[in-house]
């Protein structure tokens, strides 16, 4: 696998970006432009908008994101193992045993999170 193999995805990126730019650029000239202060106001079901929208949000969302980072890194570790799994297990069970320990630790951490109540909403 050489570097030119990834050229395709770079060109695809540029072509897709060009498509969006073209469409948004063209519609910019096609549509009417009548900007009024009422129209440019933030939508809030017809009432006047109250204060700043960037309010503090529930800590639970943040906690979910942190847990995701923890578990996703562990899932990423499984990918190279899954590809080479057949070679590990052809001679003995070492590939399976080491992975079972890894998954066991993962599940222990998971049980700890559940017991700690990190996923309880109210």
Partner 1 sequence: MKPLLAISFSSLANSFHQWLTAMFANDMAVMVTEMVVVGISLIVFLVLLSFFLGYMERKVAAFMQIRLGPNRVGPKGSLQIVADTVKLLFKEGLTPDNADKFLFNLAPFIMVITSMLVVAPIAFARDFQIWDISIGVLYVSSVSSITVIGILMAGWSSNNKYSLLGAMRSGAQIVSYELSIGLSLISIVVLSGSLSLGDIVNSQVNGWWIFKGHIPVVIAFIVFIIASTAEINRAPFDMAEAEQELTAGFHTEYAGMKFAMFLLSEYINLFVVSAIAATIFLGGWMPLHIGNWQAFNQAMDYIPSSLWFFGKTFTIIFIIMWFRWTFPRLRVDQLLNLEWKYLLPISMVNVILVTVMAIMGWHF
Q: Which of residues 19-58 bind partner 1 (CB under 8 A)?
A: 19-21, 23-24, 26-28, 30-35, 37, 39-45, 49, 52-55, 57-58
**Beta carbon of residue 56, minimum distance to partner 1 (angstroms, whole number):** 11
**Beta carbon of residue 32, minimum distance to partner 1 (angstroms, whole number):** 5
**Beta carbon of residue 75, minimum distance to partner 1 (angstroms, whole number):** 4
Binding residue for partner 1, selected from 61, 91, 115, 117, defined by CB under 8 A: 61
Question: Of 101, 69, 107, 99, nearest to 82 (Cα)?
Answer: 99
CB 67 within 8 A of CB 113: yes
Contact status: 103 vs partner 1 (CB under 8 A): yes
Distance CA 86, CA 99 (A): 13
Binding residue for partner 1, selected from 47, 79, 91, 117, defined by CB under 8 A: 79
**Beta carbon of residue 120, minimum distance to partner 1 (angstroms, whole number):** 8
Two structure tokens written together for 16: 């897709």
Contacts with partner 1: how many residues (CB under 8 A)?
71
Contact status: 116 vs partner 1 (CB under 8 A): no
88 Rama sector, left if φ>0, alpha if ψ -120 to 50, beta otherwise: alpha
Intra-chain end-to-end CA distance of the chain, in Å: 51
CB 109 within 8 A of CB 101: no
């Amino acid at each position: 696998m050489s570097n030119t193999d990834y050229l395709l995805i770079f060109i695809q990126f540029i072509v897709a970006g060009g498509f969006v730019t073209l469409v948004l650029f063209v519609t910019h000239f096609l549509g009417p432009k009548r900007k009024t202060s009422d129209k440019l106001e933030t939508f809030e079901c017809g009432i006047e908008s109250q204060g700043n929208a960037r309010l503090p949000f529930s800590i639970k969302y943040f906690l979910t994101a942190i847990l995701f980072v923890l578990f996703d890194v562990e899932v990423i570790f499984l990918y190279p193992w899954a590809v080479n799994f057949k070679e590990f297990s052809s001679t003995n069970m070492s590939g399976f045993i080491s992975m079972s320990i890894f998954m066991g630790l993962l599940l222990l951490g998971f049980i700890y999170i559940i017991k700690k109540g990190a996923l309880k909403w109210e």
